[in-house]
Each structure stands twice: as structure tokens, then as C-alpha cells.
A and B are shown apart, each in its own frame.
Chain A
Amino acid sequence: MRRLLTAIVLAGILPIAPRAGPRVGPHAGHRVGHRFSGAGAGVGAAAEQLRVQHIDGGAADPFAAPAGVTAIVFLFTSTDCPISNRYAPEVRRLAAAFAPRGVVFRLIYPNPAERAPAIREHMTAFAYAGATQALRDPEHALVKFVGATVTPEAAVYAGGHIVYRGRIDDRYVDLGLERPAPTRRDLAQALTAVIAGKPVLQPTTQAVGCFIADFVR
């Protein structure tokens, strides 16, 4: 609950930008895999007010999406995290594979020190430009809302709430311990379930990477 309250406070001090498009779902919840009831109240209100930033500044609603979008993937990343960067080809592949099925990928840069020029350079170097959208989360509003702890970490927002949060796959077991190839592709499985209208069987997993707590707040 503390996490949620922080999100409300932080969202409250941000300027509210005009809504960019219709919402993916009616309400957002902070508890993974759990649908909240009660329109416009409590948790739902927190999500409605939650704001991140466009790369060039100005508040952005991370949940805003055009019609036909069935899920949004928030992919927390940073420009110089080696594990995050090594996943770039896989993230692009997933984005391309799920785009026709109404899934939008949004890179979230939670390090306040990473600003527009560095982010643009990063997106060009790792060929994200055109494949994914990008937002900054310097106040960690979205970080706290979904409970992300490292980069890379994914959160899937669908049907008005977060239905998955964790690793992209199980390639990294720990820092310094990785599998030659993944044996479970958790993010892809979650998206496949969401598209099929089924529950995500394992809604949280432990991601391995660079700690968001280390980014200067």
C-alpha cells in the first residue's frame, strides 16, 4: 500500500497533459494479476493520475493507447546496463511478433540522469527507434506503480491492470550466472495468454539486471 500512496503523491505534483488516446482498460491496478472494481476510485484513480514524461519533456500518460491495443508492455531499461542492452534484439523481436496482435512496447527510462540526447542515441544504437516507443520515468512513478526493481524488467498492462511483471525470459539466473539460451520465455508466454483471454499462470518472476535503486533520485 505504501507503494501506491507514493504513486499518488508523485502523480499529483506532475502537470497533467491532455489525454493522448483512449485507455487500454477502464482502470489500472497496482496488484499484479488482480482486477480492481470501483470505477474512478482508489487504485483506479491512482493509475489515471499517474504520469511519466515524454523524452523531450512534458507529462505523458503511460496507459494511453489508440483503439485496438490489447496490451502495453513497459520495458524498463537504461542506456548503459549491459544485461538490458544484450536483450535489445530479443525485445525488438517480441515487439515485432506481437505488434500485429495489438501489443505496444514502451521503453521506460527510469534513470533521471538519462535525458533526450542520450536516449535517442541509445535507441538508434540498439535499433529500438521505430520498433518501440520511449518514455522517461525520472520520478519513478511507474517504477513504483508496477514494482519494477531492475533493468531490464517488463510489465504487461492489459484489461485495466498489470497482469505480468518480471523478467523477459530465464536466460539470466543471477548476476554472473546465465544460461546459454533461455528455457522459459515468460514475457512471451504472458502476452500469448493475454491475447487469448486467458489468465497469466505466473504473473510475477524475478528479473536480473541493473538495480533501479542505484539511479540517483
Chain B
Amino acid sequence: MSEFFAMGGYAWYVWGSYGVTLALLAAEMLLLRRRSRRNETAS
């Protein structure tokens, strides 16, 4: 298991890529959900 997360010594590069991508996509979905909720309560 720890071998998997070590990524053969490339952990920072691989998980840095996947982590930031996941965080950005999650943030986009969260912001959109908030925006549509706000629109619904406003009207």
C-alpha cells in the first residue's frame, strides 16, 4: 500500500497532479451548486 502511494519516488509529481485536478474540479462543482441554489432562492 505504501509502495503504491510512493509512486516509485515520484509521489509529489503524480499526486500533486491528481490532487490539484481533483480539488479544482470539486471546487467548480461546489461553486456552481451554490450559484444555482442562490438563483433559486432569489426568484
Partners in one complex: no
Residues of A near any B CB (own CB < 8 A): none
Residues of B near any A CB (own CB < 8 A): none
